[in-house]
Amino acid sequence: MTVTVDRPATTEPTAQHALDVVRRARRAPLRHHRRLLTGLVLALVGAFAARVLLGDFTVTVPDFVRILGGEQIPGATYIVMESKLPRAVLAVLVGVAFGVGGAIFQTTLRNPLASPDIVGVSLGASAAAISAIALAGWTGWPVSAAAILGALAVALTVRAVAGDHGGFRLVLAGIGLAAAMQSVIQYVFTRVDEYDVQLVLRWLTGSVNGVAWQAIGLLALALAVLLPATAWAARSLRATELGDDAAAGLGVGRGRTDLLMLLGVLLVAVGVAAAGPVAFVAFLSGPIARALNRGRTTLPAAGLVGAVIVLAGDYAGAYAFADLNLPVGVVTGAFGAPFLLWLLARGPLTGHRRRRAA
């Protein structure tokens, strides 16, 4: 009598199926991220076109192409090349700088309140700039350099006060230093000459109007250096989000986190140096991009969201109100304040919400 023993079913099909499931699960967020970036790029192109072509003086697409090609069209060439186009280009560059810089602050410190607007970096740049104008009589690029140094000084001071605690303590230290910078601004404003009032107001509210192409070129050059460096340093951002101890366990040292924070400060500083402290752009961009990306941090999307916000804010400030031309910082501040109140009212702010297990 022959007894047949059934061999156990091979586990290869089951293992292959599990591997396919894992691969699909990993690819889904990547596909969503690509679709999100594509949608934001299209939104940015639409906002840019509206800012350049529409408004109180409309320009057709063929005329715009002819103007870029060097053809002189009476009236249109001057308006496009000296007013509309530089404002739109500067709005994009400044929005990217603020968006990426703000997202770095919020992600690294794991607190949505830890934006340059809240912790005093932007106010430090403004205080240094208007002090250079009112007390030293500086103009031009030295004022921008003073703004960058002011932002760095505030960031280093806040870091020194917070020590190794970081996180929530750093935010509290930043809020206190921001109050001090606001006091400096109020005092210096009383010493401003009447001829410099408009220039000082630009450093207090933020505006993309009246900036020369040379300044725009310097900002573009700075971003061409800072953004690739940020992309390299941000490779460890996922580990940094877990906290200093967990990041150290994964081989990410404190030096990489400090480098990323320094790059974030520099991005915000050069943005302020070019257009002033455009309110709440750095604060809004990161959370909006994170929400659109299903709770995952994305610096490219934060930069694109920032650019769209500044473009839309500048367009609204110029054309939404009859006989009234508002700086972009006024518009973004008006919409950013309710968002801050909502964020404060919705719950704990000591860190990002924990992701639910799949």
- CA distances (Å), 213 to each of 63, 86, 208, 306, in order? 21, 7, 12, 21
Domain total in the chain: 1
Q: Is residue 72 part of a domain?
A: yes
Q: Return the CATH number at 185.
A: 1.10.3470.10
Query: Do 89 and 49 form a contact (C-beta atoms < 8 A)?
Result: no
Q: List, in order, residues 6 or more apart from 245 with CB less than 8 Å away.
A: none
Residue among 165, 186, 175 at smallest CA distance from 122: 175
Q: How many other CB atoms are found less than 10 A from the CB of residue 33? A: 17
CA triple 97-192-84, angle to 5 deg = 40
Q: Is residue 58 part of a domain?
A: yes
Give me the phi and psi of 54, to 5 degrees please: -100, -175
Q: Is residue 9 part of a domain?
A: no
- The Cα 301–Cα 98 span in angstroms is 12
Q: What is the pLDDT along the chain (358 residues), one digit of tens a residue?
A: 555 545 555 555 676 666 666 666 677 888 999 999 999 999 999 999 999 999 888 999 999 999 999 889 888 999 999 999 999 999 999 999 999 999 999 888 888 878 888 888 999 999 999 999 888 888 888 888 999 999 999 988 988 887 766 667 888 888 899 999 999 998 988 888 877 787 888 888 889 988 889 999 999 999 999 999 999 988 877 766 666 656 555 556 566 778 888 999 999 999 999 999 998 999 999 999 999 998 888 999 999 999 999 999 999 999 988 778 889 999 998 888 888 777 667 655 544 444 433 3
Residue appearing with tokens 């309140």: 113
- Residue 212's domain spans which residues? 30-346
Q: What is the rounded radius of gyration, in angstroms, for the C-alpha atoms of the chain?
A: 24
Residues in the chain: 358
- Count of alpha carbons within 13 Å of 344, Cβ hemisphere only? 8
Q: Is residue 18 part of a domain?
A: no
Q: Is residue 215 part of a domain?
A: yes
Q: List, in order, residues 6 or more apart from 275 with CB less than 8 Å away.
A: 90, 94, 206, 207, 208, 211, 328
Q: How far is CA 39 from the centre of its chain?
A: 18
pTM, to two decimals: 0.87
Q: Is residue 21 part of a domain?
A: no
Q: Is residue 356 part of a domain?
A: no
Both tokens of 187, joined, read 């005092």
Q: Is residue 292 part of a domain?
A: yes
